[in-house]
Structure 1
């Protein structure tokens, strides 16, 4: 009898848990709909593209506009990032050489002290 009562209690607890999960998912879905600003279920309206007379694309994703950037601008940004990467490579190489020299000095001092004792 106690076993049946415990199983019934566990079943009710599992059902309440799963009901709570489903309710939470529904509430999250409604929150996302409010954040988007419209209540459609399809995402086709979330992305809008237009082409103007200057052959530039105007893209709007969920209300945020993106502008078309030329390849030259992208190359300049890449060059800046690549230059900073080169600086990091040089710093890393310098770090490794300083470590090598320091380890060599410590090892030499160790061998020198070891020969006396």
Structure 2
């Protein structure tokens, strides 16, 4: 059994950012497909900008993203800082703010999660 948190930090500005997003989502899917694994997917920093884009049904990776929707959360502070807080709120995706508005990576580590960043 693996306990893994995948943190998407890549923004939406470049082709390489898209590559990091897709690699992160594909890794998350692999963990998600194993019923014994625990998974968290957190969009943090500029990665918060992906959530409104991925919610669009026409996005190439919408289905992959939606297949993980139960495990997805967004940094509350960063969604605001990157100007997507209202769009994220409209999606219904959980926002996390345990550490001064940010997700608590330390709590995840304390709970035994491996942290993988993209």
Structure whose CA Rg is larger: 1
TM-based fold match above 0.5: no
Q: Which has the higher strand share?
A: 2
Q: More relative contact order in 1 or in 2 (CA 8 Å, sep 6+)?
A: 2
Q: TM-score range by the shorter chain?
A: under 0.3
Q: Which has the higher helix share?
A: 1
Q: Normalised by the size of structure 1, how large is the TM-score?
A: 0.20
